[in-house]
Amino acid sequence: MEGRNAGKQYGGADLAQVERLAADYIDFISANKTERECAAKAVEMARAAGYRSLDEAVASGKRLAPGDKVYAHTHGKSVILVQLGTEPLERGMNILGAHIDSPRLDVKQNPLYESDDLTLLDTHYYGGIKKYQWVTMPLAIHGVIARTDGTVVPVTVGEDPADPVFCITDLLPHLGREQMEKTADKVVEGEALDVLVGGRPLAGAEDAGEGAGEAGKGAKKPATSAPVPTDPAKEPVKAFVLKCLRDKYGIEEEDFLSAELEVVPAGRARDLGFDRSMVLGYGQDDRVCAYTSLVAQLAVEAPTRTALTILADKEEIGSVGATGMQSLFFENAMAEICALAGADRSDLALRRCLHNSRMLSSDVSAGIDPTYASVFDSKNAAYLGRGVVFNKYTGARGKSGSNDASAEYVAQVRRIMDDANVSFQTAELGKVDAGGGGTIAYILARYDMDVIDSGVAVLSMHAPWEVTSKADIYEAYRAYQAFLRA
């Protein structure tokens, strides 16, 4: 059974909506390249739409009523948005779940060093990447630096046209014969992903070094966990970089110990193609599903069943940690909401609510690429432009690590999409023995609720720049709205 291109059914009004949504989406992923930034923007948008924090609701002690909107967030990296429906919570919710972290390079805790008159930042890559894709391209740095006085300094460098950018260097082909004989996973090693950040020595570094040495005789010895203080005479280029950081952010080298800095591709997402039918941008796995889930949640009014959207962190490394989907954040927030909504305060009411819920795990799928068609089963592959993708299962080879939606639930989802005239397709993530992938679906399925993976097809997934279809973004938004309202 072959699907059809969603764009064939669009009239002028539909195309205008497609372009408007795509423009907003491009702005979102261009400005928000980390999980912290995405979570903060989601909270900002939610408050503008009438949501209030769960902490405020708990403090007020006022009972939640149908139509009330609350959000919860944890550690600034994961967010839950809830609008109470007219049905009791124990009858279940309609849930969308996406993740807002993406593959990247994280700056290490003791990262800054000088070598051969250049200064570099040492990094540790996050999530599944092809390391060779990250060299010789403009990079930006986003994140925060927490100082011991309790202040947190936001950092964004490389996005404004007036900003400098950074890069990881590569070996010239004239000297790269041995390098080119290596396998792709070894041609650039993980420890070679160091970011070039400086090349100018501090003016008067020799004099500064002598003074620093004399002053240092009576200075307090630094803690053993802190970097050894930089000697400007011995490391003048590093010293100048530190001066730049001190002048701009008021930080010292030891403040890297309590920093979370992420290295990401610099620059805005862009329209792709002569026809501008696609989007080229960083982090579309899974922010294309996170954004469409978020705006679908904010657009819903007076739902029958409670509508809930999860924007989770850490999916790319197993959904672990306090901000990952495997933490108790979701369950604890729902316990508070059930209590405020007047449900039985026993654990049984929460268990009934979760068991009776149904979920779309809003995560991307691999779109078939004509250049690499051999790893796809063309009959069971996702195609760009054919609408939102439903994966009954993902996993690897023998469905390892996969949620597998029931036939009855798939039929229910089909009916919802058909009733809303949403263009959709079904797919697997490549040929059976080619590999597979994972999402947060299996984690929510632990509550005995119905879950299926649903998202947007992507080309070049996990590359610094990924490709999506504007039509698929629009159909995902429509699909998520239809599901929340069902």
Domains of the chain as residue ranges with CATH: 6-102+282-485 (3.40.630.10), 105-265 (2.30.250.10)
Count the neighbouring beta carbons within 10 Å of the beta carbon of residue 410.
15
Q: Using DSSP bridges, classify how beta strands 270-272 and 152-157 pair: parallel, antiparallel or unpaired.
A: unpaired
Q: What pLDDT does residue 212 have?
A: 43
Question: Which helix (H) or strand (E) element contains residue 322?
Answer: none
Q: Which amino acid is at 1?
A: M
Q: What pLDDT does residue 226 have?
A: 59
Closest CA to 72 of 303, 269, 327: 327
Q: What pLDDT does residue 463 have?
A: 97
**For the chain, first and last CA: distance in Å?**
26
Q: What pLDDT does residue 138 have?
A: 98
**Core vs surface per residue 19-44: b (16+ CB within 10 A) or e:** eebbeebbebbbebbbbbbbbbbbbe
Q: What pLDDT does residue 1 have?
A: 57
Closest CA to 393 of 446, 429, 431, 444: 429
C-alpha pair distances (Å), 65 with each of 119, 232, 471, 484 = 57, 63, 36, 18
Q: What pLDDT does residue 208 have?
A: 53
- The span from the CA of 31 to the CA of 217, in Å, is 46
Q: What pLDDT does residue 233 have?
A: 81
Q: What pLDDT does residue 196 have?
A: 98
pTM of the model: 0.93
Residues of the chain with pLDDT under 70: 1-3, 205-228
Question: Which helix (H) or strand (E) element contains residue 112?
Answer: strand 104-115
Q: Report yes or no: 356 and 74 within 8 Å, Cβ to Cβ.
A: no
